[in-house]
A = this chain, B = another copy of it.
């Protein structure tokens, strides 16, 4: 707990001095955080994808519950792509930093599409989820193809 507290203290102290895009004590903390938030996002996305693609039966409550997590999680990783986080335990391609405008565009598309999936997952209608998923999935794929090793 002591180690955790000093880590928290260090993180918090830096958070004060740094811009919102760099609220991490060390670059590896940012990398861990963005991988963690992608993991959480991916797990809940996967459950919605299963329902949208008919591989698992549609369940309105499960869809809404997973959407609520996705709604928060999909916003998280982006602040953790600071300029000092290009190397290390990461699959992020150098293109993220070389072509920052293109990466920002991909982020913005994702940030525009996921809320539509979230909203569709909360209507209680399987066809709404399927339609929103079908539009959003290529946006995910495009970003993975371009920016992930």
Contacts and interface: CB of A to CB of B under 8 A. Distances in A.
Interface of A: 1, 4, 7-9, 11-13, 15-16, 23-24, 29, 32-33, 35-37, 39-40, 42-43, 45-47, 49-51, 53, 55-57, 68-69, 72-73, 76, 141, 144-145
Chain A interface SS verdict (over half): helix
Nearest to A35: B36
A11 B44 CA distance: 10
15 contacts: A1-B141, A4-B42, A8-B49, A9-B53, A12-B55, A12-B56, A13-B50, A13-B56, A15-B46, A33-B39, A33-B40, A33-B43, A36-B37, A37-B40, A72-B72
A8 B145 contact: no
